[in-house]
Amino acid sequence: MFHSRTVPHATYVLTDFDRMGPWELELASHLFRTLKAAGLKVLNDPAKFKPRHALLKHLEREGFNSFTCWSPAHGGMPDRFPVFLRTQAAHRGPLSELLHSPSDAAACLDQALQAGHALNDLLFVEYAAEPIHEGLFAKQAAFRIGDSVTPGLTVFSGSWAGKINEDERNLSSFYEQERKQADTYPFADQVMQIFQSADIDYGRIDFGIHGGRLETYEINTNPWMGRMTPKSEAARPEVKKAVRKLYIEALHTIDSPASSRRVSLDSEVLQRQRHRDHKWLWTRRWTP
């Protein structure tokens, strides 16, 4: 969009800010304001984006989370345990098992740096999970789409850091509870408060219940939405269909009426950047 002079009249959802550099975020902020000034519906203001470290600190400070995190790049090292080490930007999960002492944390940080991970991207996060059954953890999810909150699929796993659902285990009773919960979602109000506090209009929150309270692990503004296939529907098909239906219905609520009108991206900053990019591309084209 940075290279476009005009764009269609539509609803725009801006995402994936953790993959952008500071100047790209600033350009995206100008884009957001240009679209809003033209009367379009635009979700997620890049100017208010909080990276993972800032988001978790904010949620702790506002009382939504009981756990905290530490950024080694800012001189932070854990003083509460257990913790784990992870990257901020990539959605790859933990880089370590649970660490239980300052010496463990220091050794793990050194190993991560030796492996080539960037110090600025590393983060220690305090552990805040508990099993819902012997050897079984549940990482829950919910979407915000404008003014709507809809449930996402829960990941049931034998690991506290579960990324993939363990369908081979007999989880029918948990799936049944999940299906009933989708109809009258009990976390809707609390999830909306967290999204509003984080200044995020569209995204998916991943959370767990720890000590009887909701703990937010992350908010992903560009969540993966898999295509429904016969294979993917094999496990808990009713839950997946219900969740997908609610999500699509919520998308309809942010839709804009069809229009042939186009909107001019006439911000001075965007125009200047287009000129720079065009000049750079032209120079590259004729430079051996």
The residue extents of the domains of the chain are 68-126, 137-253
Rounded mean pLDDT, 205-228: 90
How far is 177 from 132, CA to CA, in rounded Å?
13
**Which is nearest to 92 in space by CA: 107, 112, 111?**
112
pLDDT in tens, 238-275: 899 999 999 999 999 999 999 999 999 999 999 999 98
Mean pLDDT of 221-227: 81
By the 8 A CB rule, do 223 and 195 touch? no
Q: What is the DSSP letter of 47?
A: G
Q: Please give the average per-residue pLDDT across 30-36, as a whole number.
A: 97
Q: Is 228 a residue whose pLDDT tops 80?
A: no
Instruction: Give the model's pLDDT for residue 126.
Output: 98
DSSP category for residue 228: P
Neighbours of 165 (CB within 10 A): 17
Assess whether pLDDT exceeds 60 at residue 197.
yes
Residue 181 near residue 151, CB atoms below 8 Å:
yes
Q: Which pTM value belongs to this model?
A: 0.92
Q: Do the beta carbons of residue 84 and residue 124 sit within 8 Å?
A: yes
Q: Over range 182-211, report the average pLDDT.
A: 96
Reported confidence tier of residue 279, pLDDT bands at 50, 70, 90: confident
Share of the chain above pLDDT 70, in %: 92
Does 216 have pLDDT greater than 90?
yes
Specify the fold of 137-253: D-amino Acid Aminotransferase; Chain A, domain 1 (3.30.470)
Banded pLDDT at 278 (limits 50, 70, 90): confident
CB 112 within 8 A of CB 95: yes
Rounded to 10 degrees, the C-alpha dihedral 38/203/185/175 comes to: 140
Across 178-199, average pLDDT: 95
Task: Provide the pLDDT for residue 79.
Answer: 97
Q: What is the mean pLDDT of residues 227-245?
A: 75
pLDDT beyond 70 at 46:
yes
Judge if 68-126 and 137-253 fold alike in CATH terms.
no
pLDDT attached to residue 237: 85
- CATH number for the segment(s) 68-126: 3.30.1490
Q: How much is the pLDDT for 256?
A: 96
Q: What pLDDT is recorded for position 284?
A: 59
Residue 184: strand, helix, or coil: coil
Lowest mean pLDDT among 89-98, 130-139, 228-237: 228-237
Evaluate whether 221 touches 44 at the Cβ level (below 8 Å): yes
Give which of 39, 48, 35, 45 is closest to 1, Cα–Cα.
35
189 pLDDT band (50/70/90 cuts)? very high
Angle at 184 between CA 183 and CA 186, to 5 degrees: 135
Give the integer Cα–Cα distance in Å for 77 and 71: 7
For the chain, the average pLDDT equals 92
| Residue 187 confidence class, pLDDT cut points 50, 70, 90 | very high
pLDDT digits (tens, 9 = 90+) for 62-121: 999 999 999 999 999 999 999 999 999 877 889 999 999 999 999 999 999 999 999 999
Distance CA 175, CA 181 (A): 10
**Cβ-proximal residues to 286 (8 Å cutoff; 6+ apart), any chain:** none
pLDDT band at 283 (very low <50, low <70, confident <90, very high): low
Report the C-alpha gap between 31 and 45 in whole angstroms: 10
Q: What pLDDT was estimated at residue 224?
A: 80
**Which pair of tokens denotes residue 167?**
């369908």
Residue owning tokens 């932070």: 76
Q: Has residue 10 got a pLDDT over 90?
A: yes
pLDDT of 287: 54
Nearest residue to 90 (alpha-carbon basis) of 105, 58, 112 = 112
